[in-house]
Amino acid sequence: MSKQDKLRIDQQQLVAAWERTLPTTINEADRAIVKADEASENTLRITIHTAGHQMYSFDYSVTYVDSREVKVQLIDVERDGRSIDERTDIIQQLVQDYTRHIHECAQALHELTHA
């Protein structure tokens, strides 16, 4: 990361901005929790709980590579509080959808992160 293109926003402000914006990019009935990653000030932890009977939750690590680009990494998928195999087609589809929504949220926050 070059000095010029570093993320120039306080982590708590970033968390607050993601908390405001992410619900507008995911399905209306789904719920997102955004937390600061204690180990890295450029990283957020995001958990998305799906609506409906499935009771899935998806844990992601979102790291700012620079002020514009994020690296999204799936950490875990749980159903009803237990880790499940995330290689099934339906889970892979949801993982890709949520990854896309996370990137959309990062794009929506460009004017804030690329100050």
pLDDT surpassing 90 at residue 73: yes
Q: How confident is the model at residue 1 (pLDDT cuts 50, 70, 90)?
A: very low
Sign (positive/negative) of CA torsion 4, 8, 11, 17?
Answer: negative
Alpha-carbon span 105 to 30, nearest angstrom:
15
pLDDT tens-digit profile of 24-33? 999 999 999 9
Composition of the chain by helix, strand, coil, percent to 5: 35, 30, 35
pLDDT surpassing 70 at residue 94: yes
Question: Which residues contact residue 104 at a Cβ distance below 8 angstroms, ignoring those fewer than 6 apart?
Answer: 25
Q: Write the class of the CATH domain 11-110.
A: alpha beta
Q: What is the DSSP letter of 41?
A: T
Domain map (residue ranges) of the chain: 11-110
Q: What is the pLDDT of residue 4?
A: 59
Q: What is the pLDDT of residue 2?
A: 45
